[in-house]
Structure 1
Amino acid sequence: MKSPSPFAPRGPGLFGQPPALQAQAKFQQALAHHQNGQLAQALQLYEQVIALQPKHFDALHFAGVILLQSGQPQQAVALMDRAVKIDRNHAAIHNNRGAAYAELKEYDFAISNYSKAIALDGAFANAYNNRGCALIKLNRHAQAIDDFDKAIAIQPNYFEAFNNRGNALSELRRYEEARSSFERAVELNPQSADAHWNLGMCALRMGDFEPGWLHSEWRLSRWRELGWKDEYTGTRWTGAETIEGRTILIHSEQGLGDTIQFCRYAPEVAKLGARVILEVQPTLLPLLTGLPDVTLVARGSALPPYDLYCPLLTVPMILKTDLSNIPARHVPASADKARRERWSALLGERSKPRVGIAWSGNANHVDDYKRSLSLEAFSQVLCDEVAWISLHKDVRDTDQAVLKKLSQISDFASQQGDFMDAVAMCEQLDLIITIDSSLAHLGASMGKPVWLLLCHNADWRWLTDRTDSPWYASMTLYRQDTPGDWTGLLQRVRDDLRARFA
């Protein structure tokens, strides 16, 4: 026999009590649990209410809210759809359903719901703020700023709106205004790691490194999100502690590209008289073996004894790094002879200049939606003057069919193993064209010419309004003229390619 749905209506309950009375009693219990943050208990009771009264608007609505809070936006939408059929003139449910659609990355539906909430309640500051966030995702930043301004006009001390407003202004490269907005957000919520982080990134992007490093230290309050393990014990080095003659563990904390870029600081700490242990991602271990005066260990392996520890990206702050004193890049290890010969055979006879390409990065990166592009879009840059080599070890499903059609691109995804295969490939290239990813850092650290394709509001390390990088002498930066527009950028790249290899 088929099990009854947990939302199926039932008859009179215990002791013959009418369903309506049972439902109301359970709803009050659910509401109390919900308000106390006991979400599992509240959801169970809301479900019982819905089973007794399938058209109980508040139970459907609040159960949907809990499902959204619990990371189940699709189920949240389903319940809220049922609630909206009961009452279409309830502003809050349109706002919450918009939030569920935003979690599903269905931003047009999210905006439609937020707009309905605003139409029903013109003073709904949260709906304006939420709509602004969805508009950012669609590169409609000027409209987003207008929504954040409206939210702030309604609620002058609206911390989230100031913080989000700063993000939208940054996307338009209006950095002075963005910085002011972030500063106001910090004033309103001095304990917000997000606001301090945003302010720090804005200052760093503007080349104002001292306050930038300082505010970016707030990331350390979210160490689990950075993938740290919790075994780091003892004293964290802040720069105040003496390190001469002591052992310090410097640990990587973010992506592969960050480690490649900032590993240059480990030898700088060794110059201060410390014995330096650098913990890195296992895949990078063979790449970084040449770091002078540094002992490497793989993340996840047993750590040797140490006196102090320090996150890798804190070291530039301690050493007072600014644009005038950035240490020289670390040149990574070369591929061994056997690997070089293997890749020479795979790449075949050189008949044209070889250009390695990467058009997308980590799909889970928070900024992937704006820094990666599809192969179909990237293919605009292809020309006949060069041999095109895909550097991708993993090609996204959405690009597979396009890659098969583009016969001018040689694909070696199946031949790649560890990161040293990427090194061996890059060693035999004349140029690398890539989006902002670890491959950009790898190629530039090797001294290869790298043309870096950047979104309109690029990561802080690429600064603003310049085509070179103080971190890598061999790198050339190409920036979008407007948010989301790769077409003009790729046309410039294509023109420069033809001029370079004519």
Structure 2
Amino acid sequence: MFGFRRKAATAAAPGAAEWRARGNAALGQGQLVEAADCYRQAAACDPADAEARVNLGYVLLEQGAAVEAAGTLSQAVALAGERTELLADAQFLLGRAHRLQGQDRRAAASYRAALAARPGFAESLQELVPLLLDAGQAGEAVAFAQRAAQAAPRPQVLMLLAQALHAAGRAAEALVPLDAVLASDPGDAAALACRGNVLLELGRCEEALASSEQVLGVHGRQADALANASAALLRLERNEAALALAEEALRLQPAHRVSLHNRSCALTNLLRMDEALLRAREATLLHPDDADLQWSLGVAHLLRGDLAPGWKAHEARWHAKDFPGALSRAFTAAPQWTGAQALEGRCILLHAEQGLGDSIHFVRYLPQVAARAREVLVHVQQSLVPLLAQLPANCRLLQPGEPIPPHELQCPLLSLPHAFGTTLATIPADVPYLQADPERLPPWQQRLAGRARPQVGIVWSGNPQHGNDRNRSIPLHSFVAIAQEGVGFVSLQVQVRESDRAAMAHWPGLFDAGPLLHDFGDTAALASALDLVVTVDTSVAHLAGALGKPVWVLLPYVPDWRWMLGREDSPWYPGMRLFRQPARGDWDSVLQRVRSELRALASS
């Protein structure tokens, strides 16, 4: 009798859930290839399985397959529907896939979507905030970080909020989340370091130094913490100590960027210029694309009078972190004139970029530009407009608020020396290159009539917001040491600080012209009626020099780069004398020397 064998029962094929479980097990053991295969099987079993695609996307990212991961995760996003937790994971991983492909905008959009699905998603916030900050969208970064901090005030989120606030220029507010982090963990190195940077920006240098020293005490002698402490010491003008910490950091990390910068700055502040230049060159070789290091190199060259290489390196300022003039060319998209392009038949825009004195200093190049170009548009600060009434025929002075006309090229005023290849021998020093309005001069001559001669205009302080004001300005109770019988003193000081008012009231015979000076046209007319101007390093020094008036400029131990070192004259202004501090902070000897020179002038 013939019969047949019953077929053995076959095991049921694994379903999507089982394939996911197998994939999770393989992933837990680090077996990425097997995990990816299992997740693909799960997706094949259930075309609507979003979770399998999220997991597969994660594995593909771990394998470096960003393009395939992006496709898989895009499917997961579409399938996740209203499952917000799954959607948040899918969008976050999709953002990472976009980021790996250099698609930062798409990455940011995915991170935004992840945060919308899960507001306290710290990992997504950590990815999104740096992207927004790099894109200059600090305000949006703050908004996301604030929402996340409200939803989940964890230390990671609070740190990101602090960083966003700091980048948005809200340094004082950034201290609040930092203090919250440190309240829960007083030794948190990242929070202490960030707090030190914020305090330094706020000018609270001693506190900044204390934060950096706390990091060093708790976490050891690390290069980053040493660099932060060195930066605080630089601001406190403790340059020897700053140099020592910078060099210690560089022994740990020879290419540490911030420490290289700190070392160059400290050496420059100590006027050890040969070393400063050598170290600055070394730093730029290690980091050739670093604008701050190039800028430091430029300053070192210019201080030494090495103008050609100085101008070239000085152009890096436009990309430096804290350059104050960066917004000045935001209103023009025209290419910058470098001196290489022909100007014949073309219109060029020349524009201010920094302070009033900088503009006065470098408008001297206007005739040279005008001689080459078809038309020159001139855009300067409003208070300087009255000074520029007499321009070459093809120059047009733009009035405040006037729209910028079409132009083919542009150049910041401080870039003109580089464009012209200026050296010490070729500085355009013909003065006067500015003139006072002749109609404004007689009233000043009448006011000064009958006063003691010589008539000497004085300025003892500059802009209190200037980064180096503490070194450039002199308290009036000290400046009064130049007072000398037989000399008529006239204050050209427009803004008088409260701390100077008492000394001003007790200076016998001082004529306070400040309230009568409404713009630089008035100041130019008054300066033209005087015999001499004695001033600290302010815009008035440049104005008097540009007018061709005798002017004595009182300089701190470490002067601005344009005054160079070791000389009592200025190649920029033939009628100028420089009175330099012989040691840091020593105004007394400078003022006594000025008084002695005034005595000689009065008796001549």
> TM bucket by the smaller chain?
0.7 to 0.9
Could you tell me how far apart the structure 2 residues matched to 1:275 and 1:78 are? Answer: 53
Could you tell me how far apart the structure 1 residues matched to 2:541 and 2:392 are? Answer: 23
Asked if 1:311 is matched to 2:403, the reply is: no
Cα deviations across residues 282-314 of structure 1 (Å, max 9, x unaligned)? 322331233344413126423455443333233
- Which residue, 174, 186, 191 being the options, matches 1:88? 186
Hey, what does 1:169 align to over in structure 2?
267
The one-letter code matched in structure 2 to 1:184 is E
**Matches for 1:373-384 after TM superposition, within 5 Å:** 373-384=474-485
The one-letter code matched in structure 2 to 1:42 is A
Hey, what does 1:29 align to over in structure 2?
121
Change (3 A) 1:172 1:29: same
CA apart distance, 1:59: 5.8
CA apart distance, 1:322: 0.5
CA apart distance, 1:319: 2.1
408-417 or 71-80, which deviates more: 71-80
Change (3 A) 1:253 1:91: closer
Secondary structure in 2 matching 1:475: strand
228-237 or 255-264, which deviates more: 228-237
Hey, what does 1:41 align to over in structure 2?
144
CA apart distance, 1:147: 1.2
Asked if 1:331 is matched to 2:423, the reply is: no
Could you tell me how far apart the structure 1 residues matched to 2:446 and 2:370 are? Answer: 40
Gaps of 5+ in 2: 1-116, 130-140
CA apart distance, 1:274: 4.6
Hey, what does 1:197 align to over in structure 2?
295
CA apart distance, 1:465: 0.6
Change (3 A) 1:377 1:122: farther
Q: Is the 8 A contact 1:31 1:42 kept in 2?
A: no
487-496 or 25-34, which deviates more: 25-34
CA apart distance, 1:426: 0.7
The one-letter code matched in structure 2 to 1:212 is G
**Matches for 1:66-85 after TM superposition, within 5 Å:** 66-85=164-183
Could you tell me how far apart the structure 2 residues matched to 1:304 and 1:84 are? Answer: 53
Q: Is the 8 A contact 1:247 1:277 kept in 2?
A: yes
CA apart distance, 1:113: 2.0
- Which residue, 528, 535, 560 being the options, matches 1:427? 528
Secondary structure in 2 matching 1:349: coil
Hey, what does 2:72 align to over in structure 1?
none
Secondary structure in 2 matching 1:36: helix
Hey, what does 2:342 align to over in structure 1?
242
Q: Is the 8 A contact 1:452 1:477 kept in 2?
A: yes
The one-letter code matched in structure 2 to 1:412 is A
Could you tell me how far apart the structure 2 residues matched to 1:31 and 1:410 are? Answer: 65
- Which residue, 419, 423, 426 being the options, matches 1:322? 423
CA apart distance, 1:105: 1.0
Could you tell me how far apart the structure 2 residues matched to 1:358 and 1:494 are? Answer: 15
Cα deviations across residues 105-134 of structure 1 (Å, max 9, x unaligned)? 121222222222212222222221112112
CA apart distance, 1:141: 0.8
Larger CA Rg, structure 1 vs 2: 2
**Matches for 1:291-370 after TM superposition, within 5 Å:** 291-298=391-398, 300-327=401-428, 328-337=430-439, 339-347=440-448, 349-370=450-471
Secondary structure in 2 matching 1:351: coil
- Which residue, 86, 99, 110 being the options, matches 2:197? 99
Could you tell me how far apart the structure 1 residues matched to 2:376 and 2:237 are? Answer: 44
Asked if 1:253 is matched to 2:363, the reply is: no
Hey, what does 2:313 align to over in structure 1?
215
The one-letter code matched in structure 2 to 1:440 is A
Cα deviations across residues 218-254 of structure 1 (Å, max 9, x unaligned)? 2344798344244435453332322234433333333
Change (3 A) 1:259 1:349: same
Q: Is the 8 A contact 1:111 1:131 kept in 2?
A: yes
Change (3 A) 1:242 1:45: closer
Hey, what does 2:376 align to over in structure 1?
276
Could you tell me how far apart the structure 2 residues matched to 1:399 and 1:240 are? Answer: 49
Change (3 A) 1:153 1:271: same
The one-letter code matched in structure 2 to 1:143 is A
Asked if 1:470 is matched to 2:571, the reply is: yes
Cα deviations across residues 87-121 of structure 1 (Å, max 9, x unaligned)? 43444433333223222212122222222221222
- Which residue, 247, 252, 267 being the options, matches 1:149? 247
- Which residue, 369, 378, 396 being the options, matches 2:497? 396
Could you tell me how far apart the structure 2 residues matched to 1:26 and 1:116 are? Answer: 36
TM-score, normalising length: structure 1: 0.85
Q: Is the 8 A contact 1:449 1:475 kept in 2?
A: yes
Could you tell me how far apart the structure 2 residues matched to 1:464 and 1:224 are? Answer: 24
Could you tell me how far apart the structure 2 residues matched to 1:457 and 1:188 are? Answer: 27
CA apart distance, 1:149: 0.8
CA apart distance, 1:213: 1.4
Change (3 A) 1:77 1:306: closer
Change (3 A) 1:141 1:447: same
Moved over 6 A (4+): 25-28
Change (3 A) 1:320 1:436: same
Could you tell me how far apart the structure 1 residues matched to 2:452 and 2:171 are? Answer: 53
- Which residue, 508, 513, 520 being the options, matches 1:412? 513
CA apart distance, 1:467: 0.5
Change (3 A) 1:249 1:74: closer
Secondary structure in 2 matching 1:236: coil
Greater per-residue helix proportion: 2
TM-score, normalising length: structure 2: 0.71
The one-letter code matched in structure 1 to 2:122 is A
Secondary structure in 1 matching 2:578: strand
Cα deviations across residues 181-211 of structure 1 (Å, max 9, x unaligned)? 2223322332222222221122122121221
The one-letter code matched in structure 1 to 2:391 is L
Asked if 1:455 is matched to 2:553, the reply is: no
Could you tell me how far apart the structure 1 residues matched to 2:174 and 2:373 are? Answer: 57
Could you tell me how far apart the structure 2 residues matched to 1:276 and 1:65 are? Answer: 43
243-252 or 165-174, which deviates more: 243-252
Q: Is the 8 A contact 2:298 2:312 kept in 1?
A: yes
Q: Is the 8 A contact 2:362 2:413 kept in 1?
A: yes
Change (3 A) 1:71 1:288: closer
Could you tell me how far apart the structure 1 residues matched to 2:397 and 2:556 are? Answer: 34
Q: Is the 8 A contact 1:209 1:322 kept in 2?
A: yes
Q: Is the 8 A contact 2:250 2:256 kept in 1?
A: yes
Asked if 1:181 is matched to 2:279, the reply is: yes
Q: Is the 8 A contact 1:63 1:79 kept in 2?
A: yes
Q: Which has the higher contact order (CA 8 A, sep 6+)?
A: 1
Could you tell me how far apart the structure 1 residues matched to 2:208 and 2:433 are? Answer: 47
CA apart distance, 1:69: 3.9
Could you tell me how far apart the structure 2 residues matched to 1:331 and 1:472 are? Answer: 10
Count how many residue pairs are aligned between Structure 1 and Structure 2: 472
Change (3 A) 1:401 1:31: farther
Asked if 1:496 is matched to 2:597, the reply is: yes
Change (3 A) 1:92 1:254: closer
107-116 or 140-149, which deviates more: 107-116
CA apart distance, 1:369: 3.1
Could you tell me how far apart the structure 1 residues matched to 2:334 and 2:195 are? Answer: 46
Hey, what does 1:12 align to over in structure 2?
none
